[in-house]
Structures are given as structure tokens and as C-alpha cells.
Amino acid sequence: MPQTVPAYVARERVTHLEVRPHLDRYLKQNNRPLSDFDLGIESVYIPYWQVEGLLLKLRQQTDKRVQVEQYGYAQEETVIEQQHSRVNLAPHSNSVCSLSQAEYAPASLGMRTGNLTLRPLVEENINNDFKLLTPQISTEAAVERVEKQVQNLNRIAGIGNRRSVSKFFGSGMELIQMPYFICTSRDDNGSISYLLDAITGRVETEFRDRAWLDSAVAAASDVQYGSLSLSLHRCGNCGEDLPDSPALLVICKNCGARTTLDGAIDPNITLRAARIEQGSADTFLPFWVFELSDAERARLKHVFGALQNVSDAVVPAFEISNSEAMHRAIVRATLSYSNFTFSEIDALESSYMPVVERIAASRSQLRASYLRAQLERTNHLVESDALNGGQLRAVVYIPFRIENYFLVDCQMGAVTIEKVAVLGRTGSLPG
């Protein structure tokens, strides 16, 4: 996980004047007296870690069916058991509250994170009426919580199944500050507080012990806000405008200087393009090439089912919307890589797809793909054998042509990728 993560804040929709009607509606639905006249209202931002990654699953289930054979007036029933095993790799994201004592705060934001309107956590986007609470658990602890949640789901999926395996691979993280109102009132039993969502107006929880909230407020430290600024997307060497594509690696067309937007990418990394052996290419797709040790090559050859030795691990550096399609692309490109003929290049033409996948995410994808193949081949998961890829050796561009619903490489015809997973529904190509 990265040490520095993007931070965002969700904008509240419920105003201070609308808090009491929302609370009274909740109290009326639960047949309670309405809030008293001296209702206390506090405004806070509660921080959540949003963890992104991949989920590897194996589900093995035994199905039973009854076969009936008729013999005149008699019949014979036979119970046939059939085992099914399915292994798949899919995107998985979850959020966890980043307060160390949060018994009464929602443990997760659920599926709503995909529909929230988020803004960068900068001073001009913060409502000064809200107290900003700071995270109290580390990113590593957040990932551990997500992994525990995955294992709980695994135990539930194992009910009725012969075998169930789940493994989470974290690849990204961000911080989300969610707005809430703390409404404090009194009833026959004394003081009581309600946690009201400042976006939906829904009462999430109610509590009488405010120790968790008071400790979070006391632990809140001064926040060092980021800042939004505009910088010219120009070459740092000659000042020429750079291509407007969302690429992590660009080359100036005027002077040939390279610019990278990922600190893990060496600007002087080797760039190669495969030769076109058959017909013409519709596009060139970029791939990361990771160096492997001899032991890793042997394991990869066995797990991927290669008939010849594997030289390096090859991972797409472009976006593939489907995780299973990404896995197949890794396997096919890795097995075919040594058979391609490459030559070094010093410029990127308009037909070259931009590099958009960060190296850290690609390493996580490689690890997940390796264990997925291992699980499918052996029905066992040996995490100690997993590989992340060694030193980044090069970026290679492989020419592809469109054939019906697929992109097929122009040199060997061995690497095929679903067209819609790369180009989307529109099927538009760069350039």
C-alpha cells in the first residue's frame, strides 16, 4: 500500500436547520417522544479508509440429481453426485472506519462509495462548521480488517460447499471524510446521542456513552491540507506541449525528452516495439516486463502450463475493465513473450495506447494472476510461492489488429484480448 494516499471529502446535503426534522421523523417512527427544545447539534467528519483490490475465489460445490429409470410398473431412482469447481478473479473494494474506538460509527460505507460526490481534501472544500477527525488506524491495519471481512465471507460461502477459498490482494487506497451530525437530547433515562448522516439525513446509530466520540475529538490533530494548483502540461526540457492523453509515460515530440507521472517509473526505461509480421496493426498495446529469478521462472512455467521456458513476466500497462480478461492477457503475453521480435524505439506514435496502469497495481495484479492459476491447477493456495516480479526491465509495445470481438497480436496471433474490455463499448482507438 502507498504511504501517501489521495484524500477526499464528501459534501453534506442536510443543513443545520433540517437536522431536527430528520431526527423527529426517526423518533416518531419508533414511537418515541420528539426531541426537546435544547437539542444539541455537533458536526463532525468521520474518516474512512477505502481499500481497492482484487478478490480471488474458489468455490467447490457438490450437486445432487436424481435419475429415475422406469421398468414397466416399477421404477428405480439413482442419486448422482457431481462436483463443480469455479475459480475467478474480480475487483473488490471495501471501506473501514479509521477511528480506533468506533463502536457506534458505521463500520463501513457499504456500496454507496460508488455514488458519492467527492472533492479533494483541501481547505476550501472543508465546511468550517464541521470538526475534522483524523485517522487513528494505519493503512496496514485497514487492509487487515478487509482481509478479515473476506475470510468471514469465505466461511459463509463454505456452508454447503465442499471447499471454499478466498484471498484479497490490495492495490490501492484512499481516505474519505464523511459528514455526520451528533444530536444530543434527553429522555427518561438521561442523555442520549444520535449519529445522523449529513448526506441522507438518516439516523445511523444511537448511543449514551460518548467516550468513543470524545476520544476521537481529543485525538484529532491539526490537518496539513493539500492544495489545488494548475501546472502546464509541457516538456520540462524544451517547453513543447505534451500529448493530452492520460499517460504515465510521455515523450516530447520536439526534443524526445521523457516525462513520467509515476515515481516508480525510470524515465530512461527501455522502450521496445514488436515487429509486425502479418498484415497491418490497428493499435500498439503497452506491457510492463518484469525480471524473474530462475526459481520464479520455473514456478511460473509450471503454474501457467508453459511448454517452453518462461523468460520474464509480462503485465498489461493499459486498462482492462475485466479482471478475468486481464488474467488471460497476463498468461498469454508471458508465455508468448520470448517468441516476439522487438526493436528499441525513441518515439511514441499516435497509434500507441498510453501507459495508464501504475507499477504497484500491476505487481499486485501479477501476484493475483499467479495464485489464480495455481489455485485452478492444483486446488491449493501456496502464498509463499507467489511472485510480485523483480526489477522492471522494459516497456514493450505489441501490435494488435481487430478481428470481430477480439484484439489479436499481429506477429504470432497467440495473444488475444476481448476488444470490449480494452476499448469499451465504443471501440474507439487512439489516434
Whether residues 207 and 265 share a domain: the answer is no
Instruction: Please say which residue of 168, 198, 219 terminates a domain.
Output: 219
What phi-psi label fits residue 219: left (phi over 0), alpha (psi between -120 and 50 degrees) or beta?
A: alpha
Residue 226, CA distances (Å) to 5, 48, 366 in order? 12, 18, 33
* CA distance linking residue 161 with residue 61, whole number of Å: 5
Q: Is residue 361 part of a domain?
A: yes
Looking at residue 2, what is its pLDDT?
A: 47
Best mean pLDDT range from 29-38, 98-107, 210-219: 29-38
The domain in which residue 302 lies consists of 249-423
Which of 344, 341, 318 is closest to 329 using CA atoms? 318
Average pLDDT over residues 358-368: 90
* CA distance linking residue 195 with residue 23, whole number of Å: 10
Q: Is residue 407 part of a domain?
A: yes
Whether residues 38 and 176 share a domain: the answer is yes
* In the predicted structure, residue 253 carries a pLDDT above the cut 90: no
Number of structural domains the chain divides into: 2
Whether residues 205 and 290 share a domain: the answer is no
Whether residues 200 and 262 share a domain: the answer is no
* CA distance linking residue 105 with residue 99, whole number of Å: 9
Whether residues 327 and 215 share a domain: the answer is no
The pTM (predicted TM-score) of the whole model is 0.81
Looking at residue 88, what is its pLDDT?
A: 85
Whether residues 207 and 284 share a domain: the answer is no
Does residue 304 or residue 72 have the better pLDDT?
A: 304
Whether residues 63 and 136 share a domain: the answer is yes
Query: Per residue in 273-291, pLDDT tens?
Result: 998 866 788 899 999 999 9
Residue type, 400: F
Confidence of residue 1 (pLDDT cuts 50, 70, 90): very low
Q: Is residue 237 part of a domain?
A: no
* CA distance linking residue 326 with residue 120, whole number of Å: 30
Instruction: Please say which residue of 202, 219, 236 terminates a domain.
Output: 219
Query: Per residue in 153-168, pLDDT tens?
Result: 777 776 665 677 888 9
Contacts of residue 168, Cβ cutoff 8 Å, sequence gap at least 6:
53, 54, 55, 56, 92, 143, 146, 147, 150
